[in-house]
Structure 1
Amino acid sequence: MTDISVIISTYNSEAWLEKVLWGYSCQTFKNFEIVIADDGSGPKTKDLLYKFRDQEGLNINHVWQEDDGFQKSMILNKSIVACKSDYIVMSDGDCIPRNDFLEIHQNNKEKGCFLSGGYFMLPMDISKAITKEDILKGNCFNLKWLKAHGLASSFKNNKLTAKGLKSNLLNKFTPTRPSWNGHNASGWKTDIVAVNGFDERMQYGGQDRELGERLVNYGIKPKQIRYSAICVHLDHKRGYKTPESMAKNRAIRDETKSENKKWTDSGIKKG
């Protein structure tokens, strides 16, 4: 049995997903499975997954559903059920993990807690420029390499350079509150199932945060690792983001907070 199940969400984004899978092919922590939460991609995604399974030996379970618009919460719930490990890391098909990404999650996991990681956003030109070699060599996490490709200076660059005591201090004193982030979070499968997974009424905008808010209401403590567990976020368009979906999701989150909800009737189990 694997120690970690990694859920990676995707939809018709083979170029980005391939870069992400190269990131998982060189992890220092090896005892994991990948569960692809596929919200209706075409056959190119399936072909890519077979390549990595057959040629790179990645342990991949492809969980797929028919394309019916943006139904990420639904496919994530199906993927949670499919996970064989007791512990689940969630990320996205546009987030390349640093080679110690899973090792950090493994070393920091704790009963009664979930882990809240962050991401480092890359502009489109750098996202496109990253090659397989850049991922395997770690160039895309190297500040000098990124600046040579046009990355601007920013305090956020500390995410890429902080190690040891510095990363621990930044985790402790960051003004950002720990939350469940779909691009970089992890927790125990029993806890996620206990709050019934994601609310399937929610489309784009905050469904991951709402899950974390129910976990907190259930008594699970969020733990900050945004300066330790590092992934770089590849740029892309967000055509599924609408004011209507954002407003609907905001109302659901407000209800979760005001009523101290621990369970959704629109999750893994219905009703």
Structure 2
Amino acid sequence: MKISVIVSTYNNPAYLNLVLHSLISQTDTNYEVVVADDGSSEETRQLVHSIANKSAVPVIHAWQEDLGFRLAASRNNGFRHATGDYFVFIDGDCIVRENFVARHRLLSEKGYFVTGNRILLSENFSKAIVERKDFLPHSIFDALNALRKKKINRILPLLYLPEGVINRKKDDRWQKLRGCNFAVWKEDLLRTNGFNEDFVGWGFEDSEFAVRILNAGIHRKSGNFATGVFHLYHKELKVPQEGPNWERLQFAIKEHLTRCPNGIEHLESS
């Protein structure tokens, strides 16, 4: 089974550099990295190509024109450039551990998608890591020390508990899917037609996708205590529960949608 890791980014090469370097040195070997670029400038293109030239695994740059925030369209574009059987989605500000791909492979199971979690890094700690003045914790002792100094917000996502020790087949709430770390089979992306490109502007595109994939009969498996990522600092945006994107989410819930027309395949005009 080949895994495609889709990394969403927009004009943040300093963070993307750290993320890609964490991805090209995985313990797993049967995977590729696709940078789903929502219209970044030349600096990002040069960075991706530079890393691709020295990577043992394929690193592909899937760029689309900058027409505003179009994360759903960018992910679909990344899908079209990918060749994997199983897709892991992360954001371009999430550094992964060396066994990240291997852990997602272990958790993959037909009929399920996997939702992972994250550790939030402070603003100063993120800046220090970018400037190579500090380093991510590599042990629980290091993590406890970082937590004490308020560099990170928690340590539990660093722990690993195998299946059988905890119940990974959790409740099927769409609210549990975070766009910064989740995994889906290619066939299930095609079944739901991927991400709804009617979503323009930040907010609720991940939730609407989660609603549709659950409606399609695909269940959720928890990737907690296995696949946690380090989420570099950015200001959290709180989107009000109103407006076109919120209405699209509510429509998917009310109508029990499984597919969107304006997705991987543009089935009809939006």
TM-score interval for Structure 1 and Structure 2 normalised by the shorter chain = 0.7 to 0.9
Q: Residues 173 and 73 (structure 1 numbering): CA distance in 2 closer, same or farther, change over 3 Å? A: closer
Contact 1:39 1:65 in 2 (8 A): yes
Contact 2:174 2:211 in 1 (8 A): no
2:105 corresponds to: 106
Q: Does 1:206 align with 2:204?
A: yes
Please state how far the C-alpha of 1:18 moved relative to its aligned partner. 0.6
Q: Does 1:195 align with 2:192?
A: yes
Between Structure 1 and Structure 2, how many residues are aligned? 264
Once the two structures are superposed, the pairs formed by residues 10-49 of structure 1 within 5 Å of their partners are 10-49=9-48
2:234 corresponds to: 236
Please state how far the C-alpha of 1:55 moved relative to its aligned partner. 2.2
Q: Give the AA of the match of 2:232.
A: L
Q: Residues 176 and 132 (structure 1 numbering): CA distance in 2 closer, same or farther, change over 3 Å? A: farther
- Matched residues in 1 for 2:76 and 2:213: separation? 15
- Matched residues in 2 for 1:215 and 1:176: separation? 11
Contact 1:140 1:146 in 2 (8 A): yes
Please state how far the C-alpha of 1:112 moved relative to its aligned partner. 0.9
Q: Give the AA of the match of 2:252.
A: T
Q: Does 1:255 align with 2:262?
A: no
- Matched residues in 2 for 1:209 and 1:141: separation? 32
Q: Give the AA of the match of 1:220.
A: I
Q: Give the AA of the match of 1:247.
A: G
- Matched residues in 2 for 1:193 and 1:53: separation? 27
2:179 corresponds to: 182
Q: Does 1:226 align with 2:227?
A: no
- Matched residues in 2 for 1:82 and 1:89: separation? 14
- Matched residues in 2 for 1:173 and 1:263: separation? 23
- Matched residues in 1 for 2:110 and 2:167: separation? 23
Q: Residues 174 and 123 (structure 1 numbering): CA distance in 2 closer, same or farther, change over 3 Å? A: farther
Once the two structures are superposed, the pairs formed by residues 69-84 of structure 1 within 5 Å of their partners are 69-84=68-83
Q: Residues 132 and 164 (structure 1 numbering): CA distance in 2 closer, same or farther, change over 3 Å? A: farther
Q: Does 1:140 align with 2:137?
A: yes
Please state how far the C-alpha of 1:188 moved relative to its aligned partner. 0.8
TM-score (norm 2): 0.87
Please state how far the C-alpha of 1:133 moved relative to its aligned partner. 7.5
Please state how far the C-alpha of 1:145 moved relative to its aligned partner. 3.2
Please state how far the C-alpha of 1:113 moved relative to its aligned partner. 0.8
Structure 2 spans left out of the alignment, 5+ residues: none
Q: Give the AA of the match of 1:67.
A: D
Contact 1:178 1:223 in 2 (8 A): no
Which is richer in helix?
Answer: 1
Identical columns (%) = 31
Please state how far the C-alpha of 1:59 moved relative to its aligned partner. 1.0
Structure 1 spans left out of the alignment, 5+ residues: none
